[in-house]
Amino acid sequence: MRFDQRARQALRDAGVSPDAIQRAEQDLADAASDTAADVEAFFDGVDTVFSDMDQTHASADYPEHDLDYVDLFTHSDDVRGFVRFDTWGAYVEDARVLSDELVELTLGPTVNDRVRFARERAHLE
């Protein structure tokens, strides 16, 4: 369920039918599933990515990361999961495709930031 009980009641009070509310919630869930699939496809078969992540010990403006995997799932309209690099990983708390060349992941604890990723460094510049 995407809408909490107060939001559902407000929608019903505004004349939105329960079926329409349910369809809207399903549309949101479907969009999240599509986003998760698109982001995973972006990383599929890629060994190295570049990011705009601020790393303490990185000398490059757009550091390079050896990618092991990206594993995403959805919960209602949320996209969540895990990204694993060569020596470390981070929880994914949100994801979106920005273009054919860029995706953005909100990374959880250890990073706590939105990070853009590209297959080529030039797409971040």
Label each residue of 45-70 as H, E or C.
CCCEEEECCCCCCCCCCCCEEEEEEE
How are beta strands 78-85 and 102-107 bridged, if at all?
Answer: unpaired
What is the C-alpha to C-alpha distance for residues 19 and 23, in angstroms, rounded to an integer?
A: 6
pTM > 0.85: yes or no = yes
What is the C-alpha to C-alpha distance for residues 52 and 22, in angstroms, rounded to an integer?
A: 38
What is the C-alpha to C-alpha distance for residues 122 and 102, in angstroms, rounded to an integer?
A: 11
Which tens digits make up the pLDDT trace of 38-90? 999 999 999 999 999 876 566 678 999 999 999 999 988 899 999 999 989 99
Q: Which domains does the chain have, with CATH numbers?
A: 5-123 (2.70.180)
